[in-house]
Structure 1
């Protein structure tokens, strides 16, 4: 390995170390506790070195948001691949979305602004668009009448999302997390089925 490649590899490793330290702080203390100084202390670097990789805390939040969307896209893609029927795909994908929210609470709160200031930078992230496209493509297949108007797909996407995100948010802000998970799962699946049935009614 040449010196240039070695330098690039070390830079990538340091960047990853900074992001991992930031996530570790958040998992133990919450998003509000995150600071450049705390990150530097955790990885035993000086704060100026952190600024060589990220201009500010918002830059770190943006990269962590990207990381969250990559995980979510992978999860819902895997859920879709397990089914051939569009209705089953739709339910599986939203259930995967639900599961992501509770398995990766810190990411979900950052990505969707639960219990913290929403990161406005996420709006133009390609990684976020992938998630919307995956779900939108399946929503389109649910319509009997073709071609499907883009506005109709968008409206149904936001109908699914607003109800499911609302249920997730209610549970995330509770001190004990998900309460009565069996009931929540029933509400979740009933909501998904209800919206799906409304598409061609």
Structure 2
């Protein structure tokens, strides 16, 4: 391996360490505790080293957000591939979305600005095209009408997304009534919207 390759790998490793340290701080202490000096202390770097990779907290949160969208798209794609029937695919995809929001709570907060006051959320949010594309493909199959417009498909997607994301946000900020009620609302929203597509 040449020296340039070694240097590049070292840079990628350092960048990854910084992001992992930032996420660890947030998981243990909340977003309010995250700052560049704290990250440097936690991984035994100097603050200037951190700034060589990220020019500030917003840039760092933006990268965490982008990573979150990539992970979420992967989870949704995996859920889709686990089923053949479009109805089952769509249901599994939204359940994967729901599960991601709580297993990767801090990333989800960064991705959608839930309890994170940071303009960097917009940078990550701009990278979400892959997620609606996955859903819209299945919705188009469910509609089964070659004349279905993009607006028709997007309306179905945004209807479901509004309910699912809204329910997630309520629970992340202020715990909802109960997990049983959450699941009832979630499944009712998914099933009702699927019913409007298939009938």
Q: In which range does the TM-score fall when normalised by the shorter chain?
A: over 0.9
Counterpart-to-counterpart distance in 2, 1:150 and 1:44: 51
Deviation at residue 52 of structure 1 after TM alignment:
0.8
Segments of 5+ residues of structure 1 without an aligned counterpart are none
1:46-61 alignment to 2 at 5 Å? Answer: 46-61=46-61
Select the residue among 112, 119, 122 that pairs with 1:120: 122
Deviation at residue 31 of structure 1 after TM alignment:
1.4
The two structures have a TM-score, normalised by structure 2, of 0.93
Segments of 5+ residues of structure 2 without an aligned counterpart are none
**How many equivalent pairs are there?**
197
1:173-192 deviation per Cα after TM superposition (whole angstroms, max 9, x unaligned):
12xx5652222112211110
Counterpart-to-counterpart distance in 1, 2:183 and 2:12: 40
2:164 corresponds to 1:164: yes
1:98-129 deviation per Cα after TM superposition (whole angstroms, max 9, x unaligned):
0000100001111112122361212322xx21
1:3-152 alignment to 2 at 5 Å? Answer: 3-117=3-117, 119-125=121-127, 128-152=128-152
2:183 corresponds to 1:181: no
Tell me what 1:192 maps to: 190
Note if contact 2:69-2:124 (Cα within 8 Å) is conserved in structure 1: no
Provide the alpha-carbon RMSD of the alignment.
1.5
